[in-house]
Amino acid sequence: MTEQKELFAKPSPFDEERAKSIPHLIRFGTSTWTYEGWKGQVYQKHYRSDQDFKRNSLSEYASHAWFRTVGIDSFFYNPPKQEVLSSYAAQVPETFQWVSKVWEHLTIPKFPTHARYGTQKGQLNSDFLNAKLFEEAVLYKYRSPKIFEHTGPFVLQFPHIAPSVMSPDEFIERLHSFLQSLPRDFRYATEVRNKEYLQSSYFEALNQSKATHCFNHWSYMPCLKDQMKAAASAGGLSADFFVARILTPLGTSYQEAVDRFQPYRNLQCPLPDMRADVLTLTKRALQTNRTAFVIINNRAEGNAPLTIEAIGTALGKSLEQDRR
């Protein structure tokens, strides 16, 4: 029955030919992929159960030409299991590379008071930026050749850090020491949520370690254009890749975005300035021969796949005009 349903599946709702025309250096993808609201859009196949959908839908997701990467958000909450990574690797095309969020136990200097942190809630985190733990709990699981070839950047997502917990100078110093201790055969991007960190010493720490800044469109950070200006003012980024994560509208909290947009079936609130800034970043990547990983969240405009197609189409048309 499943095969019959798939045989008569609807054609892709996306402009696959346009997607294929985008240069290979540009990798668009969504922030995770297991959304029920995408059934009938990204997903045409029949899945036997919710568990089947979550385990096996990456293959169908990765079959769409627009999606050359994906953000694996679940690894933020727990370190990856090698069998899970192997399953993902078996489902994606040869050239596909994912972006992994790093376990929060390594990126939170002080545990929040949320109940899920148990006895650690409200306590300082002795494993904050522990390079040895990062290698043992996370990185070694990516060293299998079949997993390694699909491994894109690791995103270290830091919360907003109160100055009473750690000063900007201390954060940057500890980040620099951490990055210097990591193996260089992986790629790293740091996503900070303190605008005061966007100073010369921060970008110098990244450049000395061949890491990059994750340009993040998030509730209370400066716009992407201003983040790019800050990087340029510090002398630019030297890593051979860019990372951007488009998360929420500026000035809008996570919960407000969830309430506004779920179940994420439709594009509801286009963000023209964000789109223009992503276009600038991707064209800069092409001009400097760098790979750009651009991860889009549903909570930015309501439906990440349609946001990707809109930005990708604008990029394609801009490149066509440049060639004339």
Return the minimum-mean-pLDDT range out of 56-60, 95-99, 110-114, 251-255.
110-114
The mean pLDDT value of the chain amounts to 96
Contact residues for 57 (Cβ-Cβ < 8 A; gap 6+): 33, 34, 43, 45, 47
Query: Quick one: what percent of the chain has pLDDT higher than 90?
Result: 93
Higher pLDDT: 1 or 320? It is 320
Residue 255 CA to residue 249 CA, distance in Å, equals 12
pLDDT at position 6, please? 46
Query: What is the per-residue pLDDT across 40-51, written as a single tens digit (0 to 9) for each?
Result: 999 999 999 999
Residue 134 CA to residue 90 CA, distance in Å, equals 24
Residue 246 CA to residue 302 CA, distance in Å, equals 12
Domains defined for the chain, CATH in brackets? 2-323 (3.20.20.410)
Return the minimum-mean-pLDDT range out of 83-92, 117-126, 149-158, 200-209.
117-126
Q: C-alpha angle 76/81/84, rounded to 5°? A: 100
The owner of tokens 């400097």 is 288
Confidence tier at 11 by pLDDT (50, 70, 90): low
pLDDT at 2 over 50: no
